[in-house]
Amino acid sequence: MKKSDFISLLSRNLKDYNEIDINLSADLIQKTIVESLKKRNRVEIRGFGSFCIRDRKSIRARNPKSGESIELPKRSIPYFRASKLLKQRIN
């Protein structure tokens, strides 16, 4: 499901709100999660899951085209963990 599909689904189910308001709300939620993760705060949505940042250490990799060895720097990646309730609803 793409973001546009999600907005359309919400606007069909929430007749009191127009699509522009729903789009702005979805953008605000996404922006808030990103800003919180930038500050390295954990975001927990009860019944859905939690987002956090995990650090990856630097590694030595190889360029498959040239065979040259390169050093990939330390980086942070977003991590999502589904809640127990979400797992139960899916299965």
The structure's pTM equals 0.77
pLDDT, tens digit (0-9, with 9 covering 90-100), for 6-42: 999 998 998 898 889 999 999 999 999 999 999 999 9
Residue range 64-84: mean pLDDT, rounded: 93
| pLDDT(81) > 90 | yes
Q: Of all residues in the chain, what percent are helix, strand and coil, respectively (each to 5)?
A: 40, 30, 30
Closest by Cα among 89, 49, 54, 91 to 75: 54
pLDDT, tens digit (0-9, with 9 covering 90-100), for 48-61: 999 999 999 999 99
Query: How high is the pLDDT of residue 44?
Result: 96
The CATH code for residues 42-91 is 4.10.520.10
The pair of structure tokens assigned to 19 is 């699509």
Indicate the domain borders of the chain: 1-39, 42-91
Query: How high is the pLDDT of residue 33?
Result: 95
